[in-house]
Structure 1
């Protein structure tokens, strides 16, 4: 099968969309499929082109058997609605044009979280007369209003009309949560064309570690410390100011550290708050290359997974919980009750507390810190749960969806 996949995030970027696409694509290649990924110069989330790359009109290279086509886009940091829209729309145009020059595929796939790449995928499928699969990673633009980045307006309503148009025109929709499928059915989309393929973990890379990576632990002063870590994009949706408040509560414990690792629109706010509160128990680590993520995760004794208290986030499953399972790191989840909290409870891979509740997050950290038996029990459950979310299975499930439309 020849697959063209459009995404504006791809390694060396290390966010969830980039990771999911890459880890699936390498498995499709190993299975004998030809995969072409159309993407842009890596720049997320800081809005700066990564070293060794350039923002050029058309570049090609291979990555682990994947044919990668990179196109020029308007590059900006992951902040500011208008600039981000220009970024998305520029990829929509240049990604579509680049797709025209690729050899005739069997299927065209485009992924969100925003849907402008999906517009390019749909248009390309119409021109090439090939099936279009929309991988739905986020209900967008609803997530814009959920975090307060923009109020409901004429622009939002127009974006919602485009969103529904794409759902209806897609030959298949692949949802990363059951909740997204339920939401689309309520909005009149045919449930028979919606398949669910959850996120997962590459168990060849993320495996239990009995010790913190020595070089990182030494560099950041984390040897013999109990580390509660937030790793990933620092976005408006995560309410990280509450985690800073948690760190303030934990100052009296000399052997506990709160770690923030990554970048994004809310990163500077975290840095400023830590400096303002003069917190000595917070460790700030810049975004790391994707290949360093298992070592970075090894620093954590528990993983902090917060989202702000919005009904929209009941439908979201943060993908990092699966990497934590693979590493055997208990999760402290502070998100609205929904599909993600159900997974944590069903797998006993962590504890669930109220979204934005500083007292409860603090208490959960202290409970894991003090109760060694509980910690080991949850760690073991996490490791045992990980194979249920293996990337090998999710990659195979996606190919089955594609194959339904290939004659």
Structure 2
């Protein structure tokens, strides 16, 4: 029997107008729960990701409130840092944890609390709020932290890492329910002794009302000098895990190939390595690339429309075989073929749906070979695009939001017994 009305308290470090995957997932779920009649309060910070600078129209104040599409949003002060430099970023994370926990006791009592990663220290704040309010809590796992920190080389094994790993297991065991975004994450938790019965998998997905095939945006084509070009691109965070130097190396190789003279690679987004990539491209004289920077959620589909194919890439590490980059679902919504430089569960989705082709992670020559195949064969691109779009309904955000709401209702009902 469904719960008629719930008050959901959600802790997340990222929320619109930020446009990264955690912000989009939380918003797109929460707005659907509000439409279903539930009350949702989000505790977050002033929007600043990934630059560490507050977005226009906001201030980094002790406390500020707003309502976004029916969602009650409470923003707390945090120490802000760009998405580079691990020590400063860690202070950023801790400041959100303490400020979110500080105001939690003064919020109206919810029926349930949810904390979402990959900002790991959001989770202790959610746990604390649930204990103070004496309600169940759900841990939403989007990243295996602190393993990912060690993988990208941001921090070596240390006392702090070992303490974080103990806290990680404590939170997994203490959560009333765990929601993971991949089946691989669920397997990892079970291998660590976490009860699989309380773990549900709700993958990322796509809002099909926002992402659909559309003609190239003429204004952007002219602005970026893309007339007559075949355009491949990367859309997302330019971070330590993404290995975008491989894409830059591929662009350099392609630049000297007459068969790829009309190819341009578009980089859309921001992050710790964006400036480094731009500087490297300029120093090496790589002219077949365009760096756009961060764009708003309202405009992102315009940039997707420019792409003949999308490149999805992460560093070649066993940890990344457990992740599914959320951008693949936006590609499906837009009907864009993918070149997948990620092994594991993400690649399985691409192979099962026929929505793209694989290349070896961190192998620029292999990426160029796959790009050459797409450039030389428009019929292949059309086939992959059609199959990509055909797969999108399986990852419709409406269905996924409903599935997660069922998990929430089950946790509330169990807590009432």
Bin the TM-score by the shorter chain: over 0.9
1:236 counterpart = 2:267: no
**Unmatched 5+ stretches in structure 2:** 1-5
Secondary structure, counterpart of 1:181 in structure 2: helix
- Map of 2:399 onto structure 1: 393
In 2, the alpha carbon distance for the partners of 1:216 and 1:67 equals 35
Per-residue CA deviations over 1:206-258 (Å, capped at 9, x if unaligned) read 0012x211111111111221111011100011111111000001114331101
Alignment-derived partner of residue 203 in structure 1:
208
Give the conservation status (yes or no) of the 8 Å contact 2:308–2:381. Answer: no
Residue of structure 2 aligned with 1:135, choices 140, 150, 158: 140
Is 1:371 matched with 2:377? Answer: yes
The 3-state SS of whatever aligns with 2:371 is: helix
CA distance in 1, matches of 2:183, 2:175: 18
Write the deviation string for residues 129-148 of structure 1: whole angstroms up to 9, x where unpaired: 00110000000000001111
Match of 1:179 in 2: 184
Match of 1:115 in 2: 120
- Partner residue of 2:3? none
Q: Which residue of 2 is the match for residue 94 of structure 1?
A: 99
**For each residue in 1:185-222, what CA deviation from the matched residue of structure 2 results, as whole angstroms up to 9, or x when unmatched?**
1011111110000000000000012x211111111111
Partner of 2:269: 262
**1:223 maps to 2:227:** yes
Tell me the CA shift for residue 149 of structure 1: 1.0
Q: How does 1:8-407 map to 2 (within 5 A)?
A: 8-209=13-214, 211-252=215-256, 253-335=260-342, 337-406=343-412, 407=416
Q: Work out whether residues 269 and 293 of structure 2, in 8 Å CA contact, stay in contact via their aligned partners in 1.
A: yes
- The farther-off stretch of 387-396 and 248-257 is 248-257
How much has 1:150 moved relative to structure 2?
A: 1.1
Query: Counterparts of 1:225 and 1:159 in 2: how far apart (Å)?
Result: 48
Aligned partners of 1:387, 1:300: CA distance in 2, in Å?
Answer: 21
SS of the residue corresponding to residue 56 of structure 1 reads: coil
Unaligned stretches of 5+ residues in structure 1: none
Give the distance between the partners of 2:303 and 2:9, measured in 1 at CA: 32
Q: Which moved more, 1:249-258 or 1:130-139?
A: 249-258
Q: Counterparts of 2:238 and 2:301 in 1: how far apart (Å)?
A: 19
Shift of 1:99: 2.4
Alpha-carbon distance between aligned partners in 2 of 1:63 and 1:179, rounded to the nearest angstrom? 33
Contact residue 303 and residue 330 of structure 1 kept, 8 A: yes
Render the CA deviation track for 1:63-108: whole Å, top value 9, x for unaligned: 0111110000000001111111111111111112222222111110
Q: CA deviation at 1:353?
A: 1.2
What does the per-residue CA deviation read over 1:144-172, in whole Å, with 9 as the maximum and x for residues that have no partner?
01111111122111110011010011000
Distance 2:225 2:134 in 1: 57
Specify the SS of the correspondent of 1:305: strand
Q: State the distance in 2 between where 1:58 and 1:300 align.
A: 41
Shift of 1:114: 2.6
Distance 2:94 2:285 in 1: 41
State the Cα distance separating 1:274 from its structure 2 match.
0.4
**Residue 140 of structure 2 contacts residue 178 of structure 2 at CA under 8 Å; is this kept in 1?**
yes
Separation of aligned partners in 1, 2:270 and 2:103: 29
TM-score using structure 2 length: 0.96
Query: Is 367-376 or 164-173 further displaced after alignment?
Result: 367-376
TM-score (norm 1): 0.98
Distance 1:301 1:217 in 2: 13
RMSD value over aligned CA atoms?
0.8
The CA distance in 2 between the partners of 1:329 and 1:188, in whole Å, is: 40
Q: How many residues align?
A: 405
Measure, in 1, the Cα distance between the counterparts of 2:299 and 2:106.
35
Could you list the runs of 4 or more consecutive aligned residues of structure 1 that deviate by over 3 angstroms after TM superposition?
none
Give the match's secondary structure for 1:284.
strand
How far off is 1:322 after superposition?
Answer: 0.2
Contact 2:13/2:119 (<8 A) preserved: no
